[in-house]
A and B are shown apart, each in its own frame.
Chain A
Amino acid sequence: MIWAMNAVQVLLLILLAPLVRGVIARLKARIQNRRGASVWRPYSDLFKLFRKEDLVPASASFVFRLAPIVLFATTLVVAAFVPLLYGSALVGVTGDFVLLVYLLALGRFFLMLGAIDGGSSFGGMGASREALVSTLAEAPFLLALMSVAIGAHTGTIAGIVQWTVGQNFFQFSAVHALAFVALALVAIAETGRIPVDNPTTHLELTMIHEAMVLEYSGPSLALIEWASAIKLTVVMALLIALFVPWGMATSLTAAALAIAALVLLLKMAALVLVLALMESSVAKLRMYLVPDFLGVASALAILAVVFTALMR
């Protein structure tokens, strides 16, 4: 029964990811006084791309077509780590945060290689910039997750969620506040949103992720776009699960699950709104200011880890 629940959670994450992207885009459009595309647009984009053929540069090797597949597979496995409705996940018992961070790194590594394999300047440029951002984001990501894990005395994400649910909402812990801000900053860098990267730009001055995928088309591009949407949804679900998991079902009854689904919807909606507002009001950072941005996240994460020992 629990297995079915966990599998359902993964499927929900995968299938709803493009919708999340669509809603964010629509909200941003409305905030910017435009009508915006339909929220179902990403789905029709994916259908269209899957029906087309792959255009592959003649000089590319097998890595070019392998990269989107590896990226999608690793992002899918990462989706299996995060509890959504019930305090357990498909890879819940022994999956844990280091494996999560490094699986994301595996996908990103292959994406960088695929970008370079395209043989154009854009690919190298995107890969080089992505290398900078991801290098500096990995340490705060791990440290913030570690500070929360230390507090919960367990290394698994499902375990952290179960511990947090048992905590009192009003007892703000300095560790959690700092870790939340640090993770939020890292999440912006990892998913490539403003102010670190503009997901809708095509100017070479401002591209990071877009530059890496410039050469891709057809099903490969569909896999990359879908993986990027899943990553965004998973990171948002991770933030919700680790810091505000109250409302999750504690028993596998239909009523509890329905309430949990509703609460999750509300929390996701709130996060989506905050993200859309922030993306519409903050300017994208110049690339050499991004290390500064991630430096702030690192300082917060380091402070969070030190506080776990100080506040015992």
Chain B
Amino acid sequence: MGLFESAAARALASSGVFLFMTVLLIAAARRISTCIGLYSLQSLVITAQIAAVSRMHHSAQGFAIAAMVLTVKVAAIPYALYRIVEELKAPRDVSSSTSPSQSVFIAAGLILLSFFAVRPYVGVLGGDQAMLAAAVALVLTGGFLMVSRKKALMQVVGLLVLDNGIFLAALATTFGMPLVIEIGIVFDLLMGVFLMGLFVFRIRDTFDHLDVSKLRRLRG
């Protein structure tokens, strides 16, 4: 068991690395399905982090949250999104306003920014520097994805990544929120994704395209 513990502790300490890699790869991705897969991977890493933290604090509540996150964020939501992509039969590329290498440079800049933003607070909040920085980086990257990708479905993915970031920030600072709140958040997310799925089909049927940059009727 000692080996397990130490391996878990080491893996937890290095998990920030995986999250940074997913941030950069999501910025460089050129297909929607790649982004969904990377989101699923991100959620898997976060699940592992929750499990490791629960192991260290010996809380059963934490394992319940981990199981919930696993079913919803790693399996259910990505599966739903994959189905939506299949049904839409639209071109699968991420219409982005920045080229992949520009996006990766911007994502790298956002990661550096999150490191510098988090530096003064590391001692105060008691979290690990890498995890906190990863959380802020996820939030910023989610925002960047929503701003730069023109497909409606990518707005959803961006929102999901952003939510991942907030979740991780909560995990890093307070080691999880009460179970009830966690369940509430996850179900909100699930509903949100299904509603977005419906709306995406409505947008496509009304306007015959999914480019959000062309949706400009709401003007003064």
Contacts and interface: CB of A to CB of B under 8 A. Distances in A.
Interface of A: 168, 170-174, 177-178, 181, 291-296, 298-300, 302-303, 306, 310-311
A173 B115 contact: no
Contacts of B100: 292, 295-296
A303 B108 CA distance: 6
Contacts, number: 61
B16 A295 contact: no
Given A170-B14, A295-B101, A295-B104, A177 B21 contact: yes
Interface in B20-60: 20-21, 24, 28
B198 interface: no
A181 B105 contact: no
Dominant secondary structure at the A interface: helix
A292 B101 contact: yes
A303 B110 CA distance: 11
Interface of B: 7, 10-11, 13-14, 16-18, 20-21, 24, 28, 99-102, 104-105, 107-108, 111-112, 115, 130
Contacts of A168: 10
Contacts of A170: 7, 10-11, 14
Nearest to A170: B10
10 contacts: A170-B10, A171-B13, A173-B14, A173-B17, A174-B130, A295-B104, A295-B105, A302-B108, A303-B108, A303-B111
Contacts of B11: 170
A171 B10 contact: yes
A310 B16 CA distance: 14
Contacts of A296: 24, 28, 100-101, 104
Contacts of B28: 296
A133 to B, nearest CB: 14
A292 B99 CA distance: 7
Contacts of B130: 174, 311
Nearest to A303: B108
B7 A306 contact: no
